[in-house]
A and B are shown apart, each in its own frame.
Chain A
């Protein structure tokens, strides 16, 4: 049941509880309870919308930053990661295997803003050894959704046997 709800809302979190109940065949109360439990257990951590800012008049810049850090005694990477993810402009932080340690995704209003964040905030942090910043030029797909789908399935004929 929980998995079923997660499968559905991972694609679209705007379904009403009634809709979720209809789709899963459960009653409304059960769905409400299951969702509440998953929110409490931090299985569901939020319900953000997927926005294509390019189609608005608001400028948004996304950058991916590779960060090399020195892990700290007793705390490993967690402490450094925390000091990074606390910044509001940071969207995501992942600890990586391979050639560098942390992936930091950040969103800013302009390249200047991102550059300022990297040079003034990120690279000056203690234990941060080096950074490499890559700006995103175009987003094709995010969270399993193709940003600018070319066709919408309307090619089906309206009535077929």
Chain B
């Protein structure tokens, strides 16, 4: 029989998280700080709207780009929150989670051999999606001493005449880093100078602490060359609904929509109706959850530092990314030993790129009680391995 598989796909190595997940799920009574999704249930009024839409028999496809009222709400939301002005017809479309939008944007923009700059540590899907779109990933290694921000000098250095797109993943999973208005200024300059495009993954935009998220698309000249990706998973605790969206220039969106139309048809209808309610009446829920996360963030950082771990203060998402170099283990070894000795799961930093070596990702999408329990185990572990 011929080899049934594509070399392109078999060449992609499976996610480092997957491997870890397999070990954890074998284990009885393991507890975890390894989750990348909110611990809150979707607010009831949003769920209720989803249920109502089912009762009303709204069980059909929507138009490819999504429900008109949802696109209008998204437009209104982007203006209200980030000062961005997108036309609901043509500059916004609704996707199956932010993930689909990342994939779609890359496929719509890349030709074979085009280079895409990916700052790491960052979300696991960027690199494989670039490869699947026949692009060439070029990794920038973000540094702890820069608080894992992207520096314009680093960006300049990574650019070649093949470079086409920069993926901008802030607020960042796994580091929790954010980019302030001032940080972004320099990036925007470089992008303009080299005539590049940006895929700005802003899925954690509602989860910043102490300052509001700023979108790079709000800088002069940037809206025309930026795809803003956002969604409902993190801000409204709606991961299982699989709903995201992309905003951007019509010329790119038209092509993304074409891929979406043939590959997906439309995002889940029930989720879209629920999302309309989320955007109309969900601001308080978002604020409530943000406050909760912020308390846990402060609690966790203080506790980690208290037990002697080195940990820079993250101001976004719901992760901290402490350094574990002084314990004489690699990230993988640390995470595995922590799991076998204390039955506590965290994610090794290397799951998010090679430069995550020496770090682990700890999520604070957990109640204070759960955090306390887990921190006890962690403290026992590091005291043993001092």
State whether A159 and B34 are in contact (beta carbons under 8 Å apart), knowing that A19-B299, A22-B302, A23-B296 are contacts in the complex. Answer: yes
Q: Does A161 contact B (CB under 8 A)?
A: yes
Q: Does A25 contact B (CB under 8 A)?
A: yes
Complex CA–CA separation, A153 to B173 (angstroms): 22
User: Which A residues lie within 8 Å of B25 (CB)?
Assistant: 157-158
Q: Does A15 contact B (CB under 8 A)?
A: yes
State whether A158 and B32 are in contact (beta carbons under 8 Å apart), knowing that A19-B368, A24-B295, A24-B298 are contacts in the complex. Answer: yes
| Smallest CB gap from B306: residue in A | A22
Instruction: For residue B295, give the distance in angstroms from its CB to the closest CB of chain A.
Output: 4
Query: Chain A: interface residue count, which band?
Result: 10 to 19
Contact with B along A61-72 (1 / 0, CB 8 A): 000000000000
Q: Does B118 contact A (CB under 8 A)?
A: no
| Smallest CB gap from B16: residue in A | A161
Contact with B along A2-44 (1 / 0, CB 8 A): 0000011000000100010011110000000000000000000
User: Which A residues lie within 8 Å of B30 (CB)?
Assistant: 158
Q: Does B24 contact A (CB under 8 A)?
A: yes
Q: Does B124 contact A (CB under 8 A)?
A: yes
Complex CA–CA separation, A156 to B30 (angstroms): 13
State whether A159 and B345 are in contact (beta carbons under 8 Å apart), knowing that A19-B299, A24-B295 are contacts in the complex. Answer: yes
Q: Does A160 contact B (CB under 8 A)?
A: yes
User: Which B residues lie within 8 Å of A161 (CB)?
Assistant: 15, 17, 36, 123-125, 173, 347, 351
Complex CA–CA separation, A117 to B262 (angstroms): 72
User: Which A residues lie within 8 Å of B351 (CB)?
Assistant: 161
User: Which A residues lie within 8 Å of B37 (CB)?
Assistant: 156, 160
From the candidates B15, B24, B303, name the one contacting A22 in the complex (CB within 8 A). B303
User: Which B residues lie within 8 Å of A159 (CB)?
Assistant: 17, 20-21, 24, 32, 34-35, 345, 347
User: Which A residues lie within 8 Å of B124 (CB)?
Assistant: 161
Instruction: For residue A97, give the distance in angstroms from its CB to the closest CB of chain B.
Output: 26
Instruction: For residue A71, give the distance in angstroms from its CB to the closest CB of chain B.
Output: 38
User: Which A residues lie within 8 Å of B347 (CB)?
Assistant: 159, 161
Q: Does B153 contact A (CB under 8 A)?
A: no
| A135-161 at interface with B (beta carbon < 8 Å) | 153, 156-161
On whether the beta carbons of B20 and A8 are closer than 8 Å, the reply is no
User: Which A residues lie within 8 Å of B296 (CB)?
Assistant: 23
On whether the beta carbons of A157 and B21 are closer than 8 Å, the reply is yes
Q: Does B41 contact A (CB under 8 A)?
A: yes
Instruction: For residue B216, give the distance in angstroms from its CB to the closest CB of chain A.
Output: 23
State whether A23 and B368 are in contact (beta carbons under 8 Å apart), knowing that A158-B345, A159-B347 are contacts in the complex. Answer: yes
On whether the beta carbons of B35 and A156 are closer than 8 Å, the reply is yes
Complex CA–CA separation, A24 to B302 (angstroms): 11
State whether A158 and B17 are in contact (beta carbons under 8 Å apart), knowing that A8-B295, A22-B302, A24-B298 are contacts in the complex. Answer: no
Q: Does B154 contact A (CB under 8 A)?
A: no
User: Which A residues lie within 8 Å of B299 (CB)?
Assistant: 19, 22-23
State whether A25 and B298 are in contact (beta carbons under 8 Å apart), knowing that A159-B345, A161-B36 are contacts in the complex. Answer: yes
Q: Does B39 contact A (CB under 8 A)?
A: yes
| Smallest CB gap from B39: residue in A | A153
Q: Does B373 contact A (CB under 8 A)?
A: no
User: Which A residues lie within 8 Å of B32 (CB)?
Assistant: 158-159
Complex CA–CA separation, A15 to B367 (angstroms): 12
Q: Does B291 contact A (CB under 8 A)?
A: yes
| Smallest CB gap from B21: residue in A | A159
| Smallest CB gap from A18: residue in B | B302
| Smallest CB gap from B31: residue in A | A158
Contact with B along A85-97 (1 / 0, CB 8 A): 0000000000000
Instruction: For residue B180, give the distance in angstroms from its CB to the closest CB of chain A.
Output: 20
Interface of A toward B, CB cutoff 8 Å: 7-8, 15, 19, 22-25, 153, 156-161
Q: What are 12 A-B contacts defined by CB distance under 8 Å?
A: A15-B368, A23-B295, A23-B298, A24-B298, A156-B35, A156-B39, A158-B24, A158-B35, A159-B34, A161-B124, A161-B347, A161-B351
Given contacts A22-B298, A158-B30, A159-B345, 16 further A-B contacts (CB under 8 A): A8-B295, A22-B303, A24-B298, A156-B39, A157-B21, A157-B35, A158-B32, A158-B34, A159-B21, A159-B24, A159-B32, A159-B347, A161-B17, A161-B173, A161-B347, A161-B351
